[in-house]
């Protein structure tokens, strides 16, 4: 199994103090966010990491080279030059890494701090194609991607979802995709990338997959994690999440 980490975006919501760096280069407990990904992957026996770059690619590539040497990972990068357009183009950039695979692949948002156990739940899921949800979400200061669950299956995947469900959770941003489901992912990615300047998100492709009934899910409610989107997320990551990350094995 290999992991593909998507880090092309600019992270504008962190504000002007962070325009000259990249979110995955922020340090938590002496390690960059990028290095924490490497730590978790190596613990789970995953030694191949592909990083889809865009914003500040040179900085990201330099840190990846350091991390790969330190942790013994096989790494490579693919660059999305159109990262100012929709993030579906980052999925399109990664298609060469998805074609012809004979084993599951991890697709991961790069801007998440989390303990190893969260990723372990995904890797060891009984579902060939799976996503993670957290029922303890808030819409007060954010607009999370929501995943309603009906009869133990995800039935939608989008922001501002309303309706009836057995439970509803926020997507963590990590996905395990089986070889059998990759053909559909590639087809939908290509279909959504045809415009001159596509504005679709790769979340739109993932929603297509959910609506097709391809995803199972694992519930990680109660585990500490955070996406790094706003300035407040950085402080929360250091005070509330990092202790759990350091303790994880």
The residue to which tokens 């613990």 are assigned = 43
Could you state, in chain order, the average pLDDT of each consecutive group of 10 residues for the chain (249 residues)?
97 90 98 99 98 98 98 98 97 98 98 99 99 94 93 98 97 98 98 94 98 99 97 97 97
> What pLDDT does 141 receive?
73
Domains of the chain, start order = 2-247 (3.90.550.10)
Q: How confident is the model over 185-194, as pLDDT tens digits?
A: 999 999 999 9
Residue 78 to residue 58: CA distance in whole angstroms: 12
The residues near 174 (Cβ < 8 Å, ≥ 6 apart) are 106, 107, 108, 109, 112, 118, 119, 122, 131, 132
> What pLDDT does 201 receive?
97
Give the DSSP H/E element, type plus range, for residue 206: helix 202-211
The residues near 211 (Cβ < 8 Å, ≥ 6 apart) are 155, 156, 157
> What pLDDT does 73 receive?
97
The residues near 30 (Cβ < 8 Å, ≥ 6 apart) are none
Q: Which of 47, 41, 52 is nearest to 95 (CA)?
A: 52
Question: Are 186 and 164 spatial neighbours (Cβ–Cβ below 8 Å)?
Answer: no
> What pLDDT does 11 receive?
87
């Amino acid at each position: 199994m290999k992991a593909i980490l998507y880090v092309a975006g600019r992270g504008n919501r962190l504000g002007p103090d962070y325009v000259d760096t990249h979110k995955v280069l922020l340090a938590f407990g002496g390690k960059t966010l990028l290095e924490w990904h490497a730590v978790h992957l190596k613990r789970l026996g995953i030694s191949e990491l592909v990083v889809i770059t865009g914003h500040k690619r040179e900085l990201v590539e330099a840190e990846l080279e350091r991390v790969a040497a330190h942790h013994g990972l096989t790494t490579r990068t693919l660059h999305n030059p159109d990262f100012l357009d929709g993030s579906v183009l980052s999925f399109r950039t990664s298609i060469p890494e998805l074609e012809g695979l004979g084993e599951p692949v991890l697709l991961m948002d790069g801007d998440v701090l989390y303990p190893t156990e969260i990723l372990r739940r995904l890797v060891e899921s009984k579902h060939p194609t799976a996503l993670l949800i957290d029922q303890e979400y808030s819409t007060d200061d954010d607009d999370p991607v929501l995943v309603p669950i009906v009869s133990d299956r995800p039935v939608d995947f989008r922001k501002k979802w309303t309706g009836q469900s057995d439970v509803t959770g926020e997507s963590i941003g990590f996905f395990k995709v089986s070889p059998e489901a990759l053909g559909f992912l590639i087809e939908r990615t290509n279909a959504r990338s045809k415009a001159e300047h596509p504005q679709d998100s790769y979340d739109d492709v993932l929603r297509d997959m959910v609506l097709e009934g391809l995803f199972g899910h694992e519930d990680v409610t109660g585990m500490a994690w955070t996406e790094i989107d706003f300035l407040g997320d950085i402080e929360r990551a250091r005070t509330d999440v990092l202790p759990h990350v350091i303790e994880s094995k």
